[in-house]
């Protein structure tokens, strides 16, 4: 017998076994559960659902069936009273059968519901001076005239106890908690009296399991000893410890069993991260853009040392690779007065990049043909002081030295710059997930270079970047983006502005559907062979915007559609480019992975209408 026949028979046998098992399982399930069918009439679906929840799972044998029928009326009455129906009438009818399931018919006349006549909520103790309880009261929606609902009443009690514990009232208790029902006039009264007792305070915070200097972790405590206890402050401490990147495991434990003189000691158990970690990221652009490669792969490897020494120093080195665009950047961070809110960063980088397009005019074809791109090699060394304000703005000032070499319009350039910079940014997130449902990020910066400070030319560089996210009705997510930039310099100094300091458009973070940095102003010139050449050299200004709508098919999959518009330009050469497209996004455990297809809608003097696939990974904020 041939191998093909053996494989076919094997598959047939397994398929037969699978069908047989499925049939047997189905019969078993039916036999186990089909002892009693239940039909409820006379009430709306929400009341029926509540009755079914109270009467429980249908019986699975004869003994359970008799017990079920014995208690079903009591459970139905309890279900109706729990949502305010105290004058209901219940009729039960059981149809017994020799074969097959019995039939239970429950006919309900719910009657008029009981409504609330008043709600009396009374506080006593230190909580009278706590604004949190006033805000909680203001947020209650229950009011006189509402239908009595025991579940809502229990929820209010639970909320109050939870809030009291979260605010440090560990001796709090109800002195009165009752629902008084007057069946004659179908009314109810709620009385909740809560005595908080005294409010406890924070005691000493003790850290274990770390090798840092004590002042490093102590600076992360967001509260002072003997301040009023609040669990949100403990959450802030946990978040601060997490944000440092020093620790793999964090436990912040209030030791309520060791309270002394009203002070709650806090124990913090820490586990350091591994000494080294490697993170790999990848992406790819595929399309028919005008740049050299229709396929543009990207690979990024990041090596981190979360804690170099007991002073909390750390380093991060990133190597990026794409064809002819290798980059290596190392950042060494030194905490100053605060490990998160005040840092000194030393940065060293070597980068090779490509920009725009280079084209030669073909006399035979009477059109420009692509010959490559503007290439540059950059060396940089920077020092940055970065600190966070009380309003959560991240501010920083920097000094960066850079040298960049490139060949443009038959000329070799190698300008040097000493850039003085100042920037501010702020990110507000609606949640801390890798796929935030709402948030906004703002970034503004200014850099200045001057020949008196060692730079090739005088240059002022301005940039602003904004991104906004919001989600409506759980499934409809909108993302808007706006990037703007300007280089202020004398006209004769424009060629000496290094390509990395100019503005280009195109790519997955700019105008999708076009290749990375292929859009921008161009210049025509006579090349060394005497022919006509054209080169996209970038612009003095940049305006690029985007609006994207995303729809969640499931919590981890969504579809998106977008429109991108804008370009890099000079004052006399503004040519806005528009692209549209869509894609599918997977919200993976390590962050969203997006596959987008963009279509360019405009053909310019240097690029044709194009399309590109963009595969990217990373959070939006």
What is the DSSP secondary-structure string of 365-398?
TTEEEEEEEEEEEEEEEEEEEEEE-TT--EEEEE
**How many percent of the chain have pLDDT more than 70?**
93
Q: b/e per residue, 497-535, with b = 16+ CB within 10 A?
A: bbbbbbbbbbbbebbbbbbbbbbbbbeeeebeeeeebbb
**In 3-state terms, what secondary structure has residue 22?**
helix
Starting at the edge strand found earlier in the chain, the sheet holding 263-272 runs: 201-208, 263-272, 247-254
Domains and CATH numbers, the chain: 36-109 (3.10.20.310), 115-195 (3.10.20.310), 201-272 (3.10.20.310), 277-336 (no CATH), 356-617 (2.40.160.50)
pLDDT beneath 70, residues of the chain: 1-33, 285, 287-294, 573
Q: What is the pLDDT of residue 412?
A: 92
Strand locations in 325-366 (E): 327-338, 342-362
Q: What is the pLDDT of residue 285?
A: 67
pLDDT in tens, 212-255: 999 999 999 999 999 999 999 999 999 999 999 999 999 999 99
Beta carbons of 453 and 459 less than 8 angstroms apart = no
Q: What is the pLDDT of residue 328?
A: 95
- Of residues 388, 451, 444, the one with CA closest to residue 419: 451
Q: Which residues contact 507 (CB under 8 A, 6 or more apart)?
A: 285, 514, 515, 516, 517, 614
Beta carbons of 297 and 613 less than 8 angstroms apart = no
Place of tokens 């981890």: 556
Spatial distance between the Cα atoms of 188 and 114, rounded to a whole number of angstroms: 7
Q: What is the pLDDT of residue 288?
A: 66
Q: What is the pLDDT of residue 20?
A: 42
Place of tokens 């948030």: 439
Backbone angles phi, psi at 214, to 5 degrees: -60, -35
Q: What is the pLDDT of residue 291?
A: 52
Beta partners for 98? Answer: none
Spatial distance between the Cα atoms of 615 and 283, rounded to a whole number of angstroms: 5
Predicted structure pTM score: 0.76
- Of residues 498, 492, 487, 491, the one with CA closest to residue 406: 498
Beta carbons of 542 and 565 less than 8 angstroms apart = no
Beta carbons of 108 and 51 less than 8 angstroms apart = yes
């Amino acid at each position: 017998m041939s191998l093909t026949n053996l494989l076919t028979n094997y598959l047939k046998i397994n398929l037969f076994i699978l069908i047989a098992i499925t049939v047997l399982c189905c019969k078993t399930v039916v036999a186990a559960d089909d002892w009693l069918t239940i039909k409820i009439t006379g009430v709306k679906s929400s009341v029926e659902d509540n009755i079914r929840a109270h009467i429980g799972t249908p019986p699975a044998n004869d003994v359970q069936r008799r017990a079920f029928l014995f208690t079903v009326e009591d459970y139905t009455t309890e279900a109706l009273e729990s949502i305010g129906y105290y004058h209901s009438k219940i009729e039960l009818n059981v149809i017994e059968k020799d074969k097959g399931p019995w039939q239970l018919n429950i006919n309900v006349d719910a009657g008029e519901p009981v409504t609330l006549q008043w709600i009396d909520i009374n506080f006593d103790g230190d909580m009278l001076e706590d604004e949190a309880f006033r805000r909680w009261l203001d947020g209650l929606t229950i009011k006189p005239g509402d239908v009595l609902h025991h579940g809502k009443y229990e929820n209010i009690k639970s909320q109050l106890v939870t809030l009291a514990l979260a605010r440090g009232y560990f001796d709090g208790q109800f002195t009165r908690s009752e629902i008084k029902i007057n069946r004659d006039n179908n009314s109810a009264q709620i009385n909740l009296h809560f005595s908080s007792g005294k409010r406890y305070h924070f005691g000493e915070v003790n850290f274990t399991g770390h090798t840092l200097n004590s002042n490093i972790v102590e600076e992360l405590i967001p509260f002072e000893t003997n301040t009023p206890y609040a669990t949100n402050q403990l959450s802030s401490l946990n978040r601060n410890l997490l944000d440092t990147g020093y620790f793999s495991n964090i436990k912040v434990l209030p030791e309520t069993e060791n309270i002394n003189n009203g002070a709650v000691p806090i124990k913090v158990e820490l586990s350091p991260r591994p000494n080294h970690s490697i993170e790999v990221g990848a992406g790819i652009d595929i399309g028919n853009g005008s740049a050299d490669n229709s396929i543009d792969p990207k690979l990024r490897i990041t090596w981190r040392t979360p804690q170099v020494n007991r002073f909390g120093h750390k380093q991060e080195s990133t190597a990026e690779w794409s064809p002819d665009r290798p980059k290596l950047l190392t950042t060494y961070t030194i905490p100053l007065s605060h490990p998160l809110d005040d840092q000194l960063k030393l940065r060293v980088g070597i980068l090779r990049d490509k920009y725009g397009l280079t084209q030669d005019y073909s006399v035979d074809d009477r059109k420009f043909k692509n010959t490559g791109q503007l290439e540059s090699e950059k060396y940089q060394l920077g020092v940055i002081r970065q600190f966070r304000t009380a309003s959560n703005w991240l501010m920083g000032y920097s000094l960066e030295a850079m040298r960049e070499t490139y060949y443009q319009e038959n000329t070799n350039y190698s300008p040097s710059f000493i850039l003085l910079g100042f920037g501010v940014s702020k990110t507000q997130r609606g949640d801390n997930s890798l796929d935030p449902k709402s948030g906004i990020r703002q970034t503004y910066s200014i850099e200045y270079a001057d020949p008196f400070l060692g730079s090739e030319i005088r240059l002022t560089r301005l940039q602003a970047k904004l991104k906004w996210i919001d989600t409506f009705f759980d499934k409809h997510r909108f993302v808007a983006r706006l990037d703007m930039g300007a280089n202020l310099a004398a006209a004769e100094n424009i060629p000496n502005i290094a390509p990395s300091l100019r503005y280009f458009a195109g790519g997955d973070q700019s105008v999708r559907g076009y290749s990375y940095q292929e859009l921008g102003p161009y210049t025509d010139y006579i090349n060394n062979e005497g022919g006509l050449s054209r080169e996209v050299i970038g612009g003095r200004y940049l305006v690029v915007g985007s609006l994207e709508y995303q729809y969640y098919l499931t919590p981890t999959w969504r579809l998106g559609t977008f429109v991108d518009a804008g370009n890099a330009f000079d004052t006399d050469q503004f040519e806005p480019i528009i692209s549209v497209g869509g894609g599918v996004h997977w919200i993976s455990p390590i962050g969203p992975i997006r596959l987008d297809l963009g279509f360019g809608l405009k053909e310019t003097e240097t690029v044709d209408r194009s399309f590109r696939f963009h595969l990217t990974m990373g959070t939006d904020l």
